[in-house]
Structure 1
Amino acid sequence: MDKILVQGMAFYGYHGVFAEENKLGQRFYADVTLEMDTRPAGKSDDLNQTVNYALVYETAKDILEGESVQLVETLTERLANALLEAFPIIDACTVKIIKPDPPIPGHYEAVAVEIRREREGV
């Protein structure tokens, strides 16, 4: 299966278990891998035969800068589902959400959740 990778998308959202996270907000990063057949686009050079990367970014922005949730797992699941819904050409997607500098004791670089979801019937 062919893959399109959109990596290093940066957002500022208000998600977390602690009240301070919801009040002050923080950075989040997203990487997505979209599995699909890219041959039609490769042959035709037609954007309508593939996924528009700008729309992938806007979909991620809507989720990560949108409604506040507690868990990175929830953000990740919502983004995967939104991508599959928005782009019928996608057979499966892998979504990784990174939360740098989590407010937990000790020195941590980041926490992340990565999931892979397939379209039903694939």
Structure 2
Amino acid sequence: MAEPFTGDRIILKDLGFYGYHGVFAEEALLGQRFFIDLELGTDLAAAASSDRLSAGISYSDIYDVVKSTFETRRMKLLEAVAQNIVDGIFNEFEAVSWVIIRLRKPEAPIAMVRGEAAIELHRQRKTP
């Protein structure tokens, strides 16, 4: 078995969403921007050699799962939002063996002059 978080990967960066996640009432009421970076570990050899979309995973399909999962349930913590997205990816794409997700919140309600609050999860598919 390959080491986790190595090998071929699909990368999607700066996926932007507007959401209502957060601890404070204002966040639930007003919402704010969030950005997501993803790396999905999957074998890309068949798609690379055949040049057929059907041999790989569509980036559009990944985006649709992320968007749907992000928008379905309001969560207080970035960690919980990110875990829900990871779970959605593992449920939808059997060929994905690991996920690295970074969820960024540029307007977090803390006294930052510049920057953003973010979390990053590294998850490997659990085998039965």
TM-score by length of 2: 0.89
Q: Deviations over 1:18-75 (max 9, x none)?
A: 0000000000001110111100111111212211111111111112222211000001
Corresponding residue for 1:12?
Answer: 18
Is it true that 1:29 corresponds to 2:35 in the alignment? yes
Structure having the larger proportion of residues in strand: 1
Letter in 2 for 1:85: N
Question: Which structure 2 residue ranges, 5 or more long, are not aligned?
Answer: 1-6
Flag as ranges the 4+ runs of structure 1 deviating above 3 A. Answer: none
Corresponding residue for 1:100?
Answer: 106
CA RMSD of aligned residues (A): 1.4
Query: How many pairs were matched up?
Result: 122
Q: Is 1:69–1:75's contact at 8 Å kept on the other side of the alignment?
A: yes
Q: Is 1:14–1:22's contact at 8 Å kept on the other side of the alignment?
A: yes
Query: Structure 1 CA distance, aligned partners of 2:43 and 2:66?
Result: 22
Query: Structure 2 CA distance, aligned partners of 1:37 and 1:4?
Result: 9
TM-score by length of 1: 0.93
Q: Give 1:116 deviation, angstroms.
A: 1.2
Question: Which structure 1 residue ranges, 5 or more long, are not aligned?
Answer: none
Q: Is 1:60–1:79's contact at 8 Å kept on the other side of the alignment?
A: yes
Q: Is 1:4–1:34's contact at 8 Å kept on the other side of the alignment?
A: yes
Letter in 2 for 1:18: F
Aligned pairs (5 A) from 1:1-122: 1-121=7-127
Query: Structure 1 CA distance, aligned partners of 2:67 and 2:52?
Result: 25
